Structure 1
């Protein structure tokens, strides 16, 4: 036994003692589980990869390669400012310019441009663009002609045009006015030639369209010149006749009566200003003459030479008189003479002031008379002007019509001359900035990338199918799935059984403990003794949901292993298939049913097995007497043994097996399953029948078949 416990751990896969090994994660998150599933279904994994590789080879062989040549065109929406006023506006907002470039892209790949290229290169005769109809297409067209009215014969030019349109793409590069044009065909040189031809044809078409638009505009403007000239002549004649009929004569756009009225109004204003000025001067002079104002406050008196001389003499005499008064006294006779001289000078000054006032008064009266005369004349002229106003208003209206007709005529005349000259000018700045060159490689991904993608997609699809086939098969498949399905740890995962039997000295067959299966069974037996051997005897039930051969072989092997370890072992066959009993070469003295009826011991019903194992063969009559009596007899007989293994029927299909499994007097219950043979549905029914029983231990009987 010591030798067995030291065998490599690969012979026995189980949880550590006392530690449950139930992982809640799904099985498909475990790389080992995925590896097992893929290894078991390697053909399903490789089949889609092979099919996709074959499809890739067929596609590369049947579909001709296409080569795309690229050229770049600068489409400048501004153009050249050759003349001041062009046909189209040159300065536009940025958004409008981008819209214009996008519109030119539509022109670049339009049928008008592409049709010229088709005609130039005779693409309607090129098999690359006009392929002969396949038999399937011919049959389809014939069937369509039977259903609907048949149209005319196929147009090769239209077919080539459609093919060229499908193979031509154009896009504006980001944040620029540069358009990238790409054309694809089956030949490198043809792709480059077609791309260059489309770009050149587009530039020529745009230039011709611009000239045509200018020519149409010029013709439209020129056609209006004669009508505008006749309208101007009629307006001038009408205005001249009205002027002559109403005697409306004037110069520089103004009538003579209007000019005279304006002059009189200006003269009347000047006369009124003059009268007002003289009236103010007269009032000041009279104020000085009456003594209410100073002589120095009036300009005319201050500027008068006579008044200035008299005031100078008066100042001298007053100075001499003041000197005499201070020297000779107030009674001197000379003072009387000085007073007379002062009085005389003052009278002369007053007389001069009165003379100035009289002169100013005469000027003021003359200004008033002139003002009255001008006002009367202005009033009479106003009356005359009122009689001319109505005719003059009509004349002004006619003159405005003449000026408007003249302005329109002159503008059209200048514009017609400009458009005639613009027809000969090419104001477009669009040009090819990157000519088309021979493409280096075919369109689409490289061939190695195609094969790699096909291989990856095939392996991915195969892997998905293999993983989906695991739940579709309805088998347990692996220890991890067994644990997750049962919610319990798997205490042992046994390898496949490879029996090797030898004959002992006594002549009976014995089981050699030198295979992987035997070592694993020995370890399982040691674990059972460690977990359930606290009380003697240790009674272990062995059952399954559908693994009948695996459970019976496990019960037989556990019994043989315990016997080799020196234990007294009883092996009970309670399986209706009696897989243990059918291999016995001897028979018991009495049957189990007879023993139960006579209430005697089971010793007479036991048979000697290999390595000293005592075996109770299957007896259907004994089970029909009741599982309680049968169990009691087994437990009674178990007192003479160290370990008892009971091989019962399948849970879910055998009522007796379910009753034995639910009997709590059996301390241990081994539930076995086969990775390759056991189904998930039957295992769920067995677990539902057992319930959450802590005695249940899971054992997988063929761990090497995991997948």
Structure 2
């Protein structure tokens, strides 16, 4: 019969519940550690919150506006420029610049405030002691460097410290996708914090206004210089144009007047006529080419533009259509040789011939008109060429004169624009607008921003709780002792056969230890042994096992107590039970009988003349027999190695239904190696919260090396309180039967 599958148990759906129960059990056992850790963390926190200096934070918001984009010369505005995140971040850096901070300090007199000037603070005894003890100023050369400074240098260093203290209280940040900058200032007084924040924002706006005024002033100075240069340029350009006009007798063209000579007027007129003539020639040539192409390709001439525009051809076409209709009607009545049919066909041929004749006339007329238009265009071109030859010489001079006039006009226009801009900026120099304004002034904070007592206290409380729980789990992990059924199964990979609670009562006397389950048959202890009996019996039935060995890793784990009570639990059912005290060096099974045997297993194995019946003791109250170990002598250490143990057990197996061997600890002697060879079942005992894990693993490893197959583990001497709380998984439910052990 397979008792247990460790892997399937770990993979079962009940695993989470079991692990949760174990975790709660660990926390419950370490509740005082958690409480102590909470006190260790929260008490200093409360003391700090009570003694810590209160800080107040004032917040002011500044809106950055985009400057106007305009043409300074044409006095034309193109609206606002586009602000970027980099531009807003730059303004935020300006708001926290040392120049602006220096102005705030000077205006509010913060150099006289001990909060910012540490030299004005009273020095405590503790600070003096730290100053004498601290070696850093000497090692880094800071103290020697300050002593070498002049009076002016010391003042600058002191001002730099005040600025550093001011900047450490100042926080300026810009918001994404927003043109608003938030400035926060922290001080030990709410009114002071609001006053400093508002002063900083106002001085920043004033600084931007002054920067705008300086830009306007520099622009006006540059405009004044540029105006002098442009005035000289205009005079030079106009003088050059006048000299050129006088030299070539071009006086009729003054200052850009558009008077023209007769040749110019004729050229303009002929050019206009030439444009019209070329347009008509192009149209006629296109119509003629279309008609000629239809004639050449044998296409339908009736689709030509000039043919469609001829009324005579259209009338002839209508007559032709009428005759075709008459011919079609007559063909329905008469034959091909009928005189009427012949006559209608003759009329139809005549009509087609007339249409063709008229189309030929249209084509000839169009060719004539095209040639006439071409001749007219050639004539106009010749006339224009003759006029151009006469005006080429004067035209060259006029072009040069126009170039000089344009240069003079450009210089004059630029000069007038600069002059107008200079006058307007001079008038508006005192009217400037900053590209920033205070959006939300800082209000006086009522509640301190730091320390945030509730938040810090809750955080410390949560930290202490979780830290205490973590410490409990750490201590539990470092403990190295077995405290639950899950740990037994996870470490040994063996099934847990039973959980044996610690023997109750105020005194652990011999009576309570020897007959515990008989004195309280409905107690958790008795139920535990009945459960252990049932588990071992199920395996014994399937395989016919009779001999069960109980061992442990180290002494004082309760294996002898478990062996005796297990034997009583089996004997109650009427089975014949024998307990063999196999711990030859520390025998204990005879103690409950209050008899000291003169002979036992040691003598039986060493003397072949002795029979087991002579040495067996009867425990009348327990209902089973005991084969004691016998007196401890020099032969006790080697008694099991002579090979007679198997023969003895074979003879005893014939008389008893179950045999239990109280074996010595596995790590104490080598007798277990011999005893396990004759055992059908091996029960390994682990003492709750006492046996080290290393000892358990070493003992199991030793048993595996000698070929012993351990059936399972029994967890002994467990705490009744933890037993009731279910700290042992499914075995914790035995705590519910504790009430049955009480006498009523």
Alpha-carbon RMSD across the aligned residues, in angstroms, is: 4.2
Matched, 1:674 2:660: no
The match for 1:440 is: 446
TM-score normalised per structure 1: 0.72
Q: Could you say what secondary structure the match of 1:182 adopts?
A: strand
Q: Indicate the larger mover: 517-526 or 51-60.
A: 517-526
The match for 2:154 is: 153
- Contact 1:573 1:581 (C-alpha < 8 Å) held by counterparts: yes
Matched, 1:659 2:665: no
Kindly provide the CA deviation profile for residues 551-604 of structure 1, in whole angstroms up to 9, marking residues without a partner as x. Answer: 122113333555566654422121244241583753445443443332542122
Provide structure 1 residue ranges, at least 5 long, that are not aligned to the other structure.
1-16, 274-370
Against the structure 1 CA distance between its residues 271 and 440, is the aligned structure 2 distance closer, same or farther, given a 3 Å change threshold?
closer
- Contact 1:27 1:33 (C-alpha < 8 Å) held by counterparts: no
TM-score normalised per structure 2: 0.68
- Contact 2:60 2:183 (C-alpha < 8 Å) held by counterparts: yes
Matched, 1:127 2:136: no
For residues 564 and 256 of structure 1, the distance between their equivalents in structure 2, rounded to whole angstroms, comes to 143
For residues 271 and 541 of structure 1, the distance between their equivalents in structure 2, rounded to whole angstroms, comes to 136
Against the structure 1 CA distance between its residues 503 and 196, is the aligned structure 2 distance closer, same or farther, given a 3 Å change threshold?
closer
C-alpha displacement of 1:199: 1.6
C-alpha displacement of 1:211: 1.3
- Of the three residues 32, 35, 39, the one matched with 2:21 is 32
Q: Indicate the larger mover: 676-685 or 220-229.
A: 676-685
The match for 2:621 is: 611
C-alpha displacement of 1:550: 1.3
- Contact 2:230 2:411 (C-alpha < 8 Å) held by counterparts: yes
Q: Could you say what secondary structure the match of 1:443 adopts?
A: coil
For residues 174 and 459 of structure 2, the distance between their equivalents in structure 1, rounded to whole angstroms, comes to 31
For residues 40 and 565 of structure 2, the distance between their equivalents in structure 1, rounded to whole angstroms, comes to 48
Q: Indicate the larger mover: 441-450 or 132-141.
A: 132-141
- Of the three residues 92, 99, 113, the one matched with 1:112 is 99
C-alpha displacement of 1:657: 0.5
Q: Indicate the larger mover: 263-272 or 71-80.
A: 263-272
- Of the three residues 442, 451, 461, the one matched with 1:455 is 461
The match for 2:164 is: 162
For residues 269 and 128 of structure 1, the distance between their equivalents in structure 2, rounded to whole angstroms, comes to 92
**1:190-269 matches, cutoff 5 A:** 190-252=192-254, 259-265=261-267
**1:527-606 matches, cutoff 5 A:** 527=534, 530-531=537-538, 534=541, 538-546=546-554, 548-562=556-570, 568-580=576-588, 583=591, 585-596=594-605, 597-606=607-616
Against the structure 1 CA distance between its residues 522 and 29, is the aligned structure 2 distance closer, same or farther, given a 3 Å change threshold?
closer
C-alpha displacement of 1:24: 0.8
For residues 165 and 649 of structure 1, the distance between their equivalents in structure 2, rounded to whole angstroms, comes to 77
For residues 585 and 572 of structure 1, the distance between their equivalents in structure 2, rounded to whole angstroms, comes to 17
Q: Could you say what secondary structure the match of 1:251 adopts?
A: coil
C-alpha displacement of 1:115: 1.7
Matched, 1:69 2:58: yes
C-alpha displacement of 1:647: 0.8
- Contact 1:609 1:615 (C-alpha < 8 Å) held by counterparts: yes
C-alpha displacement of 1:407: 2.1
Q: Could you say what secondary structure the match of 2:691 adopts?
A: coil
Against the structure 1 CA distance between its residues 611 and 87, is the aligned structure 2 distance closer, same or farther, given a 3 Å change threshold?
farther
Kindly provide the CA deviation profile for residues 237-296 of structure 1, in whole angstroms up to 9, marking residues without a partner as x. Answer: 2222232233332235579996232134467789999xxxxxxxxxxxxxxxxxxxxxxx
For residues 231 and 672 of structure 1, the distance between their equivalents in structure 2, rounded to whole angstroms, comes to 116
For residues 182 and 545 of structure 2, the distance between their equivalents in structure 1, rounded to whole angstroms, comes to 91
For residues 232 and 676 of structure 1, the distance between their equivalents in structure 2, rounded to whole angstroms, comes to 109
For residues 429 and 453 of structure 2, the distance between their equivalents in structure 1, rounded to whole angstroms, comes to 54
Kindly provide the CA deviation profile for residues 67-92 of structure 1, in whole angstroms up to 9, marking residues without a partner as x. Answer: 11122333332569999977997422
- Of the three residues 165, 187, 190, the one matched with 2:189 is 187
Against the structure 1 CA distance between its residues 564 and 197, is the aligned structure 2 distance closer, same or farther, given a 3 Å change threshold?
same
The match for 1:413 is: 419
Q: Could you say what secondary structure the match of 2:57 adopts?
A: strand
For residues 88 and 161 of structure 1, the distance between their equivalents in structure 2, rounded to whole angstroms, comes to 41
The match for 1:643 is: 658
For residues 537 and 105 of structure 1, the distance between their equivalents in structure 2, rounded to whole angstroms, comes to 88
For residues 116 and 718 of structure 2, the distance between their equivalents in structure 1, rounded to whole angstroms, comes to 64
Provide structure 2 residue ranges, at least 5 long, that are not aligned to the other structure.
276-378, 728-744
- Contact 1:77 1:97 (C-alpha < 8 Å) held by counterparts: no
For residues 432 and 539 of structure 2, the distance between their equivalents in structure 1, rounded to whole angstroms, comes to 106
- Contact 2:564 2:589 (C-alpha < 8 Å) held by counterparts: no
For residues 174 and 243 of structure 1, the distance between their equivalents in structure 2, rounded to whole angstroms, comes to 65
- Contact 1:548 1:650 (C-alpha < 8 Å) held by counterparts: no
